[in-house]
Structure 1
Amino acid sequence: MPPKFVAFDLETTGLSFQKDEIIEIGAVKFTVEVKGGKVVPKLEKEFETFVKPNQMIPAEASNVNHIYDKDVQDAPAVGDAIKKFTAFCGQSSILIAHNANFDATFMRNAYKANPQMVPGNPVVDSLAITKAIMPEAGSHKLGNLAGMFLKSGEITMNIDSAKMHRAVYDCEMLMEVFVAVLRRRLKEKDWEMMNIMKSLEKYKGVPQFLTSK
Protein backbone atom coordinates (compact mmCIF):
# COMPACT_ATOMS: atom_id res chain seq x y z
CA MET A 1 0.00 0.00 0.00
CA PRO A 2 1.62 3.28 -1.08
CA PRO A 3 1.71 6.27 1.27
CA LYS A 4 -0.11 9.55 0.80
CA PHE A 5 1.98 12.68 0.45
CA VAL A 6 1.05 16.37 0.60
CA ALA A 7 3.53 18.72 -1.05
CA PHE A 8 2.82 22.22 0.26
CA ASP A 9 4.17 25.69 -0.33
CA LEU A 10 3.54 29.15 1.07
CA GLU A 11 3.81 32.60 -0.36
CA THR A 12 4.43 35.30 2.24
CA THR A 13 4.83 39.06 2.60
CA GLY A 14 8.53 38.54 3.31
CA LEU A 15 11.11 36.31 4.92
CA SER A 16 10.81 37.37 8.58
CA PHE A 17 9.09 34.86 10.86
CA GLN A 18 8.51 37.65 13.38
CA LYS A 19 6.75 40.25 11.23
CA ASP A 20 5.75 38.74 7.87
CA GLU A 21 2.56 36.84 7.10
CA ILE A 22 1.23 34.09 4.85
CA ILE A 23 -0.64 35.33 1.77
CA GLU A 24 -1.14 32.06 -0.12
CA ILE A 25 -1.20 28.37 0.76
CA GLY A 26 -0.94 25.74 -1.96
CA ALA A 27 -0.80 21.97 -1.66
CA VAL A 28 -1.13 18.86 -3.77
CA LYS A 29 -2.02 15.44 -2.41
CA PHE A 30 -0.48 12.53 -4.26
CA THR A 31 0.60 8.94 -4.01
CA VAL A 32 2.88 6.88 -6.23
CA GLU A 33 2.33 4.10 -8.73
CA VAL A 34 4.48 1.98 -11.00
CA LYS A 35 4.28 2.69 -14.71
CA GLY A 36 6.60 1.04 -17.21
CA GLY A 37 8.65 -0.35 -14.36
CA LYS A 38 9.18 3.12 -12.89
CA VAL A 39 7.76 4.70 -9.75
CA VAL A 40 5.90 7.90 -10.71
CA PRO A 41 3.68 10.34 -8.80
CA LYS A 42 -0.08 10.05 -9.05
CA LEU A 43 -1.86 13.35 -8.35
CA GLU A 44 -5.06 13.01 -6.33
CA LYS A 45 -6.23 16.55 -5.55
CA GLU A 46 -5.11 20.13 -5.09
CA PHE A 47 -5.65 22.85 -2.51
CA GLU A 48 -5.13 26.56 -2.98
CA THR A 49 -6.22 29.64 -1.11
CA PHE A 50 -5.16 33.23 -0.86
CA VAL A 51 -4.88 34.52 2.71
CA LYS A 52 -5.71 38.05 3.80
CA PRO A 53 -2.81 39.47 5.85
CA ASN A 54 -2.96 42.23 8.43
CA GLN A 55 -0.53 44.34 6.40
CA MET A 56 0.00 45.62 2.89
CA ILE A 57 1.99 43.33 0.63
CA PRO A 58 5.42 44.90 0.00
CA ALA A 59 6.34 45.56 -3.62
CA GLU A 60 9.42 43.36 -3.35
CA ALA A 61 7.24 40.38 -2.37
CA SER A 62 4.77 41.05 -5.20
CA ASN A 63 7.65 41.24 -7.65
CA VAL A 64 8.52 37.64 -6.78
CA ASN A 65 5.15 35.95 -6.28
CA HIS A 66 2.94 38.25 -8.37
CA ILE A 67 0.37 38.49 -5.57
CA TYR A 68 -1.03 41.95 -4.90
CA ASP A 69 -3.29 43.56 -2.31
CA LYS A 70 -6.28 43.33 -4.65
CA ASP A 71 -5.82 39.56 -4.90
CA VAL A 72 -6.16 39.00 -1.16
CA GLN A 73 -8.70 41.66 -0.17
CA ASP A 74 -11.59 39.14 -0.08
CA ALA A 75 -9.51 36.14 0.99
CA PRO A 76 -10.09 34.28 4.27
CA ALA A 77 -8.11 35.17 7.37
CA VAL A 78 -5.18 32.90 8.14
CA GLY A 79 -7.05 31.06 10.91
CA ASP A 80 -9.75 29.94 8.49
CA ALA A 81 -7.24 29.16 5.75
CA ILE A 82 -5.13 26.84 7.90
CA LYS A 83 -8.27 25.07 9.15
CA LYS A 84 -9.04 24.16 5.53
CA PHE A 85 -5.42 23.11 5.02
CA THR A 86 -5.63 20.78 8.03
CA ALA A 87 -8.75 19.15 6.62
CA PHE A 88 -7.11 18.77 3.21
CA CYS A 89 -4.04 17.04 4.65
CA GLY A 90 -5.94 14.41 6.62
CA GLN A 91 -4.26 12.41 9.35
CA SER A 92 -2.19 9.84 7.46
CA SER A 93 -0.32 11.90 4.86
CA ILE A 94 3.36 12.83 4.94
CA LEU A 95 3.91 16.57 4.38
CA ILE A 96 6.74 17.70 2.12
CA ALA A 97 8.19 21.18 1.62
CA HIS A 98 11.33 22.38 -0.14
CA ASN A 99 13.31 24.10 2.62
CA ALA A 100 10.73 22.89 5.12
CA ASN A 101 12.05 24.98 8.02
CA PHE A 102 10.74 28.11 6.30
CA ASP A 103 7.23 26.85 5.54
CA ALA A 104 6.87 24.87 8.77
CA THR A 105 7.88 27.85 10.92
CA PHE A 106 5.34 30.16 9.26
CA MET A 107 2.63 27.50 9.62
CA ARG A 108 3.59 26.80 13.24
CA ASN A 109 3.31 30.53 14.03
CA ALA A 110 -0.07 30.70 12.29
CA TYR A 111 -1.46 27.80 14.31
CA LYS A 112 -0.07 29.29 17.50
CA ALA A 113 -1.71 32.66 16.80
CA ASN A 114 -5.01 30.99 15.86
CA PRO A 115 -5.53 28.15 18.38
CA GLN A 116 -7.13 25.10 16.77
CA MET A 117 -6.29 21.50 15.96
CA VAL A 118 -2.74 21.32 14.61
CA PRO A 119 -1.86 18.59 12.08
CA GLY A 120 0.30 15.91 13.67
CA ASN A 121 1.64 14.79 10.28
CA PRO A 122 5.41 14.47 9.82
CA VAL A 123 6.96 17.27 7.73
CA VAL A 124 9.90 16.23 5.55
CA ASP A 125 12.39 18.59 3.91
CA SER A 126 12.86 17.72 0.22
CA LEU A 127 15.78 20.16 0.01
CA ALA A 128 17.76 18.18 2.59
CA ILE A 129 16.94 14.93 0.77
CA THR A 130 18.03 16.35 -2.57
CA LYS A 131 21.32 17.60 -1.14
CA ALA A 132 21.97 14.16 0.39
CA ILE A 133 21.20 12.20 -2.79
CA MET A 134 22.53 14.67 -5.36
CA PRO A 135 25.41 16.60 -3.76
CA GLU A 136 26.91 17.06 -7.22
CA ALA A 137 23.98 19.18 -8.46
CA GLY A 138 25.02 22.74 -9.30
CA SER A 139 21.84 24.11 -7.72
CA HIS A 140 19.26 22.58 -5.43
CA LYS A 141 16.63 25.23 -6.16
CA LEU A 142 13.35 23.61 -7.10
CA GLY A 143 13.06 25.22 -10.54
CA ASN A 144 16.63 24.31 -11.46
CA LEU A 145 16.15 20.70 -10.37
CA ALA A 146 12.93 20.46 -12.36
CA GLY A 147 14.68 21.83 -15.44
CA MET A 148 17.50 19.32 -15.06
CA PHE A 149 15.09 16.38 -14.68
CA LEU A 150 13.05 17.56 -17.65
CA LYS A 151 16.16 17.71 -19.81
CA SER A 152 17.16 14.17 -18.80
CA GLY A 153 13.65 12.83 -19.41
CA GLU A 154 13.08 11.94 -15.76
CA ILE A 155 9.97 14.13 -15.56
CA THR A 156 7.58 15.30 -18.27
CA MET A 157 6.04 18.35 -16.59
CA ASN A 158 6.23 21.51 -18.69
CA ILE A 159 8.29 24.14 -16.87
CA ASP A 160 6.78 27.62 -17.07
CA SER A 161 8.98 30.23 -15.39
CA ALA A 162 6.06 32.69 -15.36
CA LYS A 163 4.13 30.38 -13.02
CA MET A 164 6.97 29.77 -10.57
CA HIS A 165 6.58 31.19 -7.08
CA ARG A 166 2.85 30.56 -7.13
CA ALA A 167 1.98 28.02 -4.50
CA VAL A 168 0.13 25.22 -6.35
CA TYR A 169 2.43 25.29 -9.38
CA ASP A 170 5.47 25.01 -7.12
CA CYS A 171 3.77 22.11 -5.32
CA GLU A 172 3.20 20.26 -8.59
CA MET A 173 6.85 20.81 -9.43
CA LEU A 174 7.89 19.61 -5.97
CA MET A 175 5.82 16.45 -6.38
CA GLU A 176 7.64 15.61 -9.63
CA VAL A 177 11.11 16.47 -8.30
CA PHE A 178 10.61 14.64 -4.98
CA VAL A 179 9.74 11.36 -6.70
CA ALA A 180 12.45 11.77 -9.36
CA VAL A 181 15.16 12.34 -6.73
CA LEU A 182 14.12 9.40 -4.57
CA ARG A 183 13.75 7.13 -7.57
CA ARG A 184 17.55 7.24 -7.77
CA ARG A 185 17.87 5.45 -4.43
CA LEU A 186 14.59 3.79 -3.41
CA LYS A 187 13.37 0.41 -4.60
CA GLU A 188 9.66 -0.28 -5.09
CA LYS A 189 9.31 -1.90 -1.66
CA ASP A 190 10.88 1.18 -0.02
CA TRP A 191 7.85 3.22 -1.13
CA GLU A 192 5.38 1.07 0.82
CA MET A 193 3.60 2.73 3.74
CA MET A 194 5.37 0.59 6.33
CA ASN A 195 8.82 1.42 4.90
CA ILE A 196 8.64 4.96 3.59
CA MET A 197 9.63 6.95 6.70
CA LYS A 198 12.68 4.76 7.34
CA SER A 199 13.58 5.10 3.66
CA LEU A 200 13.37 8.89 3.82
CA GLU A 201 15.37 9.10 7.04
CA LYS A 202 18.30 7.34 5.35
CA TYR A 203 18.66 10.42 3.12
CA LYS A 204 18.22 13.24 5.65
CA GLY A 205 14.42 13.06 5.50
CA VAL A 206 14.14 13.26 9.28
CA PRO A 207 10.69 14.67 10.03
CA GLN A 208 9.76 17.72 12.03
CA PHE A 209 6.25 18.47 13.24
CA LEU A 210 3.94 21.49 13.21
CA THR A 211 3.00 20.59 16.78
CA SER A 212 6.59 21.27 17.95
CA LYS A 213 7.28 24.44 19.91
Structure 2
Amino acid sequence: MKRSILFDTETTGLDPATGDRVIEIAALELVGDLPTGKSYHVLLDPERDVPEEASRVHGFTRADLEGKPKFADVADKFLAFVGDDDALIAHNARFDFGFLNAELKRAGRKPLNMDRMVDTLDMARERFPGMPNSLDALCRRFGVDLSARTTHNALLDCKLLAEVYVELMGGRQHGLGLMADGEQAPAVVYDGPAERTVVRVHPSAAALAAHASFVEKLKDPIWNS
Protein backbone atom coordinates (compact mmCIF):
# COMPACT_ATOMS: atom_id res chain seq x y z
CA MET A 1 0.00 0.00 0.00
CA LYS A 2 1.05 3.62 -0.57
CA ARG A 3 3.33 5.16 2.06
CA SER A 4 3.28 8.91 2.64
CA ILE A 5 4.55 11.33 5.25
CA LEU A 6 2.49 13.94 7.06
CA PHE A 7 4.57 16.65 8.74
CA ASP A 8 4.60 20.03 10.47
CA THR A 9 7.19 22.58 11.58
CA GLU A 10 7.41 25.37 14.12
CA THR A 11 9.70 28.33 13.44
CA THR A 12 11.11 31.56 14.84
CA GLY A 13 9.04 33.62 12.39
CA LEU A 14 7.38 33.74 9.01
CA ASP A 15 10.16 34.10 6.44
CA PRO A 16 13.34 32.01 6.07
CA ALA A 17 14.69 34.59 3.62
CA THR A 18 15.01 37.09 6.48
CA GLY A 19 16.81 34.65 8.79
CA ASP A 20 13.94 32.83 10.50
CA ARG A 21 14.75 29.22 11.38
CA VAL A 22 13.01 25.93 12.14
CA ILE A 23 12.82 25.03 15.84
CA GLU A 24 10.62 21.90 15.73
CA ILE A 25 9.87 19.18 13.18
CA ALA A 26 7.28 16.44 13.58
CA ALA A 27 6.33 13.81 11.02
CA LEU A 28 4.01 10.80 10.95
CA GLU A 29 4.13 7.82 8.62
CA LEU A 30 0.88 6.97 6.80
CA VAL A 31 0.20 3.78 4.88
CA GLY A 32 -2.99 3.71 2.87
CA ASP A 33 -3.65 7.24 4.25
CA LEU A 34 -3.83 5.91 7.82
CA PRO A 35 -1.20 6.46 10.57
CA THR A 36 1.02 3.45 11.29
CA GLY A 37 2.29 4.68 14.65
CA LYS A 38 5.78 5.47 13.34
CA SER A 39 6.83 9.07 13.90
CA TYR A 40 9.76 11.48 13.86
CA HIS A 41 10.06 14.41 16.26
CA VAL A 42 12.88 16.77 17.15
CA LEU A 43 13.41 20.15 18.81
CA LEU A 44 16.19 22.25 17.29
CA ASP A 45 18.57 25.00 18.31
CA PRO A 46 17.77 27.78 15.79
CA GLU A 47 21.15 29.45 16.38
CA ARG A 48 19.37 32.77 16.90
CA ASP A 49 16.85 34.43 19.20
CA VAL A 50 13.19 33.41 19.38
CA PRO A 51 10.99 36.52 19.16
CA GLU A 52 8.35 36.91 21.85
CA GLU A 53 5.54 36.92 19.30
CA ALA A 54 6.70 33.53 17.98
CA SER A 55 6.94 32.13 21.52
CA ARG A 56 3.32 33.12 22.10
CA VAL A 57 2.34 30.92 19.15
CA HIS A 58 4.29 27.73 19.87
CA GLY A 59 5.30 28.16 23.51
CA PHE A 60 9.08 27.74 23.05
CA THR A 61 11.65 30.28 24.23
CA ARG A 62 15.34 30.53 23.43
CA ALA A 63 16.12 28.94 26.80
CA ASP A 64 13.94 25.90 25.96
CA LEU A 65 16.04 25.22 22.86
CA GLU A 66 19.54 25.69 24.25
CA GLY A 67 21.53 22.45 23.95
CA LYS A 68 19.18 20.97 21.35
CA PRO A 69 20.72 19.67 18.10
CA LYS A 70 21.18 21.97 15.15
CA PHE A 71 19.35 21.17 11.91
CA ALA A 72 22.56 20.08 10.19
CA ASP A 73 23.00 17.43 12.92
CA VAL A 74 19.62 15.81 12.20
CA ALA A 75 19.23 16.45 8.46
CA ASP A 76 20.19 12.91 7.41
CA LYS A 77 17.91 11.26 9.98
CA PHE A 78 15.01 13.44 8.86
CA LEU A 79 15.61 12.65 5.19
CA ALA A 80 15.89 8.94 5.99
CA PHE A 81 12.48 9.01 7.72
CA VAL A 82 10.91 10.96 4.87
CA GLY A 83 12.38 8.58 2.29
CA ASP A 84 11.47 8.73 -1.37
CA ASP A 85 7.71 8.32 -1.08
CA ASP A 86 5.58 10.39 -3.41
CA ALA A 87 3.45 12.36 -0.97
CA LEU A 88 4.63 14.83 1.67
CA ILE A 89 1.50 16.18 3.36
CA ALA A 90 1.19 19.39 5.39
CA HIS A 91 -1.35 22.11 6.14
CA ASN A 92 -0.30 25.28 4.33
CA ALA A 93 2.48 23.10 2.95
CA ARG A 94 4.26 25.88 1.03
CA PHE A 95 5.24 27.44 4.36
CA ASP A 96 6.73 24.19 5.70
CA PHE A 97 8.42 23.27 2.41
CA GLY A 98 9.93 26.75 2.21
CA PHE A 99 11.46 26.52 5.66
CA LEU A 100 12.69 22.93 5.35
CA ASN A 101 14.25 23.57 1.96
CA ALA A 102 16.01 26.63 3.33
CA GLU A 103 17.38 24.51 6.17
CA LEU A 104 18.40 21.70 3.80
CA LYS A 105 20.19 24.16 1.54
CA ARG A 106 22.01 25.66 4.52
CA ALA A 107 23.06 22.13 5.56
CA GLY A 108 24.30 21.27 2.07
CA ARG A 109 21.51 18.79 1.29
CA LYS A 110 19.18 18.54 -1.68
CA PRO A 111 15.82 20.31 -1.26
CA LEU A 112 12.54 18.45 -1.09
CA ASN A 113 10.94 18.15 -4.52
CA MET A 114 7.88 20.42 -4.65
CA ASP A 115 6.13 17.83 -6.85
CA ARG A 116 5.77 15.72 -3.70
CA MET A 117 3.78 18.42 -1.90
CA VAL A 118 0.20 17.66 -0.82
CA ASP A 119 -1.41 20.68 0.82
CA THR A 120 -4.43 19.91 3.01
CA LEU A 121 -5.26 23.63 3.04
CA ASP A 122 -5.76 23.51 -0.74
CA MET A 123 -7.84 20.33 -0.34
CA ALA A 124 -10.02 21.99 2.31
CA ARG A 125 -10.53 25.15 0.27
CA GLU A 126 -11.67 23.08 -2.70
CA ARG A 127 -14.10 21.10 -0.55
CA PHE A 128 -15.32 24.00 1.60
CA PRO A 129 -14.98 27.14 -0.54
CA GLY A 130 -15.49 30.41 1.29
CA MET A 131 -15.38 28.77 4.73
CA PRO A 132 -12.69 28.96 7.46
CA ASN A 133 -10.18 26.20 6.73
CA SER A 134 -7.56 26.56 9.45
CA LEU A 135 -6.58 23.36 11.24
CA ASP A 136 -8.70 24.41 14.22
CA ALA A 137 -11.72 25.07 11.98
CA LEU A 138 -11.37 21.72 10.22
CA CYS A 139 -11.02 19.86 13.51
CA ARG A 140 -14.25 21.43 14.74
CA ARG A 141 -15.96 20.67 11.43
CA PHE A 142 -14.98 17.00 11.57
CA GLY A 143 -15.48 16.57 15.32
CA VAL A 144 -11.76 16.12 16.13
CA ASP A 145 -10.94 16.76 19.81
CA LEU A 146 -9.00 20.04 20.20
CA SER A 147 -8.85 20.13 23.99
CA ALA A 148 -5.09 19.47 24.14
CA ARG A 149 -4.18 22.17 21.61
CA THR A 150 -3.22 25.17 23.74
CA THR A 151 -0.22 26.12 21.55
CA HIS A 152 0.98 25.23 18.04
CA ASN A 153 2.93 22.10 18.98
CA ALA A 154 4.16 20.37 15.82
CA LEU A 155 3.71 16.79 17.01
CA LEU A 156 0.18 17.39 18.31
CA ASP A 157 -0.68 19.32 15.13
CA CYS A 158 0.47 16.32 13.07
CA LYS A 159 -1.78 13.98 15.02
CA LEU A 160 -4.74 16.32 14.58
CA LEU A 161 -3.99 16.81 10.89
CA ALA A 162 -3.78 13.04 10.38
CA GLU A 163 -7.40 12.76 11.55
CA VAL A 164 -8.45 15.70 9.38
CA TYR A 165 -6.61 14.27 6.36
CA VAL A 166 -8.47 10.95 6.67
CA GLU A 167 -11.76 12.87 6.60
CA LEU A 168 -10.68 15.00 3.63
CA MET A 169 -9.82 11.78 1.78
CA GLY A 170 -13.27 10.33 2.42
CA GLY A 171 -13.20 9.01 5.99
CA ARG A 172 -11.69 5.95 7.61
CA GLN A 173 -13.26 3.54 5.14
CA HIS A 174 -11.10 5.13 2.41
CA GLY A 175 -7.98 3.50 3.82
CA LEU A 176 -9.41 -0.01 3.72
CA GLY A 177 -8.31 -1.68 0.52
CA LEU A 178 -7.45 -5.18 -0.60
CA MET A 179 -4.74 -6.66 1.63
CA ALA A 180 -1.79 -8.58 0.24
CA ASP A 181 -1.38 -12.16 1.43
CA GLY A 182 -0.34 -12.20 5.06
CA GLU A 183 -1.31 -8.59 5.73
CA GLN A 184 -3.79 -7.78 8.44
CA ALA A 185 -6.58 -5.36 7.62
CA PRO A 186 -6.62 -2.25 9.82
CA ALA A 187 -9.35 -2.07 12.42
CA VAL A 188 -12.47 -0.17 11.51
CA VAL A 189 -13.21 2.45 14.14
CA TYR A 190 -16.91 3.09 14.77
CA ASP A 191 -17.44 6.54 16.23
CA GLY A 192 -21.22 6.38 16.49
CA PRO A 193 -23.39 5.81 19.57
CA ALA A 194 -23.00 2.55 21.48
CA GLU A 195 -26.69 1.67 21.02
CA ARG A 196 -29.06 2.41 18.18
CA THR A 197 -32.13 4.49 18.89
CA VAL A 198 -35.31 3.00 17.44
CA VAL A 199 -37.92 5.56 16.44
CA ARG A 200 -41.46 4.25 16.06
CA VAL A 201 -43.98 6.28 14.06
CA HIS A 202 -47.67 5.97 14.99
CA PRO A 203 -49.98 7.13 12.14
CA SER A 204 -53.09 9.10 12.95
CA ALA A 205 -56.62 7.70 12.56
CA ALA A 206 -57.12 9.91 9.49
CA ALA A 207 -53.95 8.53 7.89
CA LEU A 208 -55.05 4.94 8.56
CA ALA A 209 -58.47 5.63 7.04
CA ALA A 210 -56.92 7.17 3.93
CA HIS A 211 -54.65 4.15 3.54
CA ALA A 212 -57.57 1.71 3.88
CA SER A 213 -59.52 3.65 1.24
CA PHE A 214 -56.54 3.50 -1.14
CA VAL A 215 -56.07 -0.27 -0.61
CA GLU A 216 -59.75 -0.96 -1.37
CA LYS A 217 -59.25 0.45 -4.87
CA LEU A 218 -56.39 -1.99 -5.65
CA LYS A 219 -56.96 -5.33 -7.36
CA ASP A 220 -55.89 -8.23 -5.09
CA PRO A 221 -53.69 -6.11 -2.81
CA ILE A 222 -50.98 -8.13 -1.09
CA TRP A 223 -51.81 -6.46 2.23
CA ASN A 224 -55.08 -8.48 2.34
CA SER A 225 -53.44 -11.83 1.52
TM over 0.5: yes
Give the equivalent residue in structure 1 for 2:120: 126
Give the equivalent residue in structure 2 for 1:30: 30
Give the equivalent residue in structure 2 for 1:135: 129
Give the equivalent residue in structure 2 for 1:14: 13
Greater C-alpha Rg: 2
Question: Under a length normalisation based on structure 2, what TM-score does the superposition of the two structures give?
Answer: 0.70
Aligned: 1:114 with 2:101: no
Displacement of 1:190 in angstroms is 9.6
Give the equivalent residue in structure 2 for 1:199: none
Displacement of 1:68 in angstroms is 1.3
- Does the 8 A contact of 1:51 with 1:77 survive in 2? yes
Structure with more of its chain in strand, by fraction: 1
- Does the 8 A contact of 1:50 with 1:71 survive in 2? no
- Does the 8 A contact of 2:4 with 2:30 survive in 1? yes
Displacement of 1:11 in angstroms is 0.4
- Does the 8 A contact of 1:8 with 1:25 survive in 2? yes
**SS of residue matched to 1:183:** coil
| Superposition pairs of residues 151-166 of structure 1, within 5 angstroms | 157-166=144-153
Displacement of 1:163 in angstroms is 4.3
Question: Under a length normalisation based on structure 1, what TM-score does the superposition of the two structures give?
Answer: 0.74
Displacement of 1:149 in angstroms is 0.3
Aligned-pair RMSD on alpha carbons? 2.6
Displacement of 1:17 in angstroms is 2.2
| Superposition pairs of residues 66-77 of structure 1, within 5 angstroms | 66-77=59-70
- Does the 8 A contact of 1:25 with 1:167 survive in 2? yes
Give the equivalent residue in structure 2 for 1:61: 54
Greater relative contact order (CA < 8 Å, ≥ 6 in sequence): 1
Deviations 1:102-146 (Å, cap 9, x if unpaired)?
11011111111111254557121111111112215x310011101
- Does the 8 A contact of 1:52 with 1:73 survive in 2? yes
Distance 2:163 2:149 in 1: 18
Percent pairwise identity: 30
Q: Structure 1's 11 and 87: CA in aligned 2 closer, same or farther, altered over 3 A?
A: same
- Does the 8 A contact of 1:95 with 1:124 survive in 2? yes
Distance 1:82 1:41 in 2: 25
Give the equivalent residue in structure 2 for 1:203: none
Which structure 2 segments of 5+ residues have no match? 180-225
Q: Structure 1's 126 and 57: CA in aligned 2 closer, same or farther, altered over 3 A?
A: same
Aligned: 1:47 with 2:40: yes
Distance 1:135 1:191 in 2: 33
